[in-house]
Chain A
Amino acid sequence: MDHDSYSDAYLKGVLEDVRTIAVVGASDNPLRASHFVMKYLGDKGYTIIPINPGQAGKEILGHRVYAALSDLPEPPDMVDVFRNSDAAAGVVDEAIAAGARVVWLQLGVRNDDAARRAEAAGLRVVMNRCPKIEYQRLFGEIGRIGVNSNIITAKKRPVKPTKKLI
């Protein structure tokens, strides 16, 4: 798997396939990037499971917070990792153990050894990307604020509605 560049089809496949996303490093501070991502993906209809040992048992954005991936009653489809590249290695191993199908390391986070272990265990891996940015880019939203989506198409690109309209 080439982790320097991902095809749009690969990223779209991941985002269309998963329904539950565990967010490791979930912050209750509404100004932090992890909070933005949880709010956005939750509004898009994903089930969000915040993971943060300091907030365990409390709620973030109405979602119950768990201390660790090993505490989850059911395997999450995807684990989104807001930790640095070194710390991400352990989280990836926990994601494998928890039965996740996708592990996604945030923009700026990359650990190739951990990615190889996850892929050997049958998980799909995305690194150094943000699922919120990719969702907005692939489904026709990011250009609304002048960002280059790099998408060329002569097909209609309907913007996916928020969960309240589905």
Chain B
Amino acid sequence: MSEKKSFGFETRAIHAGAAPDPTTGARQTPIYQTTSFVFDDVDEAASLFNLQKVGFIYSRLTNPTVAVLEERIANLEGGIGATATASGHAAQLMALFPLLSPGDEFIASTKLYGGSLNQFANTFPRAFGWKAVFADTDTPANVKAALTEKTKAIFVESLANPGGIVTDLEAIATIARDAGIPLIVDNTLASPYLIRPIEWGATLVVHSTTKFLSGNGTSVGGAVVDSGTFDWSKDGKYPALSGPEPGYHGLKFHETFGNLAYTIHGHAVGLRDLGPSQSPFNAFLTLNGIETLHLRMERHSTNALTVARFLESHPAVEWVSYAGLESSKYHALAQKYLPRGAGGIFTFGIKGGYDAGVKLVESVELFSHLANIGDSRSLIIHPSSTTHRQLDAEGQTAAGAGPEVIRLSIGLESADDIIADLAQALEKAVG
């Protein structure tokens, strides 16, 4: 079977990275709940510590269960390798860590998830001296205009949260390539079933695996995927990858490991020194989620389109922003980048503004009022009173999270039941 050149997405979602346990024959990937691993002898230990051999030393760096998750996500994204992390936020930290030094800049979309905006705008500059320069990526020329000598990366979301915003990845990737810097794409909302950013020119892909990859709202986690296509050594811009690493006696990662350099650095330096590794149990649950990713993303998308159409025709609704609707300004981009569906998450504006929004989220019965997305259950949140409240009014509106905005993450329940719950809650909220 391994001689077939390429397997379908569905097959890889179930099998990639996993094989029956070589010792016991266990078919499902075991949970290797252990901190550390014995060495054969001192020479093997030395080979492992010198990175002359890849293997297991300590679960902060690598773990057999977590490794299966890493390989599976790398495979589904079409990447050369992946590093699993404790959360999506940790994945963003880990993605930028080998690229930026204090004083460096990266360009970030103004339409990122609110938590990302906060991490980039406040914590990264204060803690690491990494300056995020924000640009509205709806007009790719804005990204080009924001480039400086210090720009080391561009960071966007393929499908942005909230608001059904589709990024023109091909246009942004061209700008990144011309500037000789990597494009990093957060692919959490779309998942690799709906879009694979590497195919459009992304260098790195980051995930919060907490969402659709896990799928059941059980496990916080993240991942950084490398395409293996970027030349880290060409101009000395990325010394962490091209220059000598003091922690490994002066080893140069890119020279020694070629296109595996970023992934090996992620484990051998990133996880070793920053420490945000994913737990084997979370990796196990997320692997089980990924086995049904293709089926779930189809249903999330069709349910979301059905609910979006209902809301678009509802008198208590001002507007619906879902890239799957013909009325969306992102519809053409969605048809290009997301032909299999526009995902399960969108926003709408409720008549009556902030107060009606608060009333709506307190009136739903089937929807869960909570700050997550990508669950099998339908979820609702009023961003301006919760996820985006750390931003000021201007920032909220720029991020598509104004006072009237409601964000829905449409689950896998019967579409009729989802609609009925929204109908009764809208009645209570707007009357």
Q: Do A and B come from one complex?
A: yes
Taking CB atoms, residues of chain A closer than 8 Å to B5 are: 5
**Once the chains are docked, how many angstroms separate the CA of A36 from the CA of B260?**
14
**Once the chains are docked, how many angstroms separate the CA of A5 from the CA of B64?**
29
**Once the chains are docked, how many angstroms separate the CA of A40 from the CA of B255?**
17
Taking CB atoms, residues of chain A closer than 8 Å to B19 are: 140, 151, 153-157
Determine whether B25 belongs to the interface, using a CB cutoff of 8 Å to chain A.
yes
Determine whether A85 belongs to the interface, using a CB cutoff of 8 Å to chain B.
no
Chain A: interface residue total (CB-CB under 8 A): 40
A-B contact count (CB 8 A): 129
11 pairs, A vs B, C-beta closer than 8 Å: A5-B5, A31-B251, A140-B19, A146-B70, A146-B82, A146-B83, A147-B81, A148-B17, A148-B79, A151-B2, A162-B40
Interface size range on B against A: 35 or more
Taking CB atoms, residues of chain A closer than 8 Å to B25 are: 156
A165 touches B79 (CB 8 A): no
A162 touches B44 (CB 8 A): yes
**Closest CB of chain A to B204's CB: distance in Å?**
13
**Closest CB of chain A to B125's CB: distance in Å?**
29
A146 touches B22 (CB 8 A): no
**Closest CB of chain B to A160's CB: distance in Å?**
11
Interface centre among B41, B51, B70, B71 (most CB of A within 10 A): B71
Taking CB atoms, residues of chain A closer than 8 Å to B263 are: 145-147
Chain B, range 15-47, C-beta contacts under 8 Å to A = 15-17, 19-22, 25, 40-41, 43-44, 47
**Once the chains are docked, how many angstroms separate the CA of A159 from the CA of B68?**
15
Instruction: Choose one: A140, A141, A148; the contact of B80 (CB below 8 Å).
Output: A148
B249 touches A31 (CB 8 A): yes
Q: For residue B75, which residue of chain A has the nearest CB?
A: A148
Determine whether A15 belongs to the interface, using a CB cutoff of 8 Å to chain B.
no
Determine whether A59 belongs to the interface, using a CB cutoff of 8 Å to chain B.
no
Stretch from B54-62, B140-148, B154-162, B410-418 contacting the other chain? B54-62
B21 touches A156 (CB 8 A): yes
Per-residue A-contact encoding for B277-308, CB less than 8 Å = 1, 0 else: 00000000000000000000000000000000
Per-residue B-contact encoding for A129-156, CB less than 8 Å = 1, 0 else: 0100100100011111111111111111
A154 touches B80 (CB 8 A): no
A149 touches B52 (CB 8 A): no
B251 touches A156 (CB 8 A): no
Chain A, range 31-62, C-beta contacts under 8 Å to B = 31-33, 36, 39-40, 43
**Once the chains are docked, how many angstroms separate the CA of A150 from the CA of B72?**
9
Taking CB atoms, residues of chain B closer than 8 Å to A30 are: 50, 249
Knowing A31-B252, A133-B260, A140-B22, the reply to whether A146 touches B2 (Cβ < 8 A) is no
**Closest CB of chain A to B291's CB: distance in Å?**
14
Taking CB atoms, residues of chain A closer than 8 Å to B257 are: 33
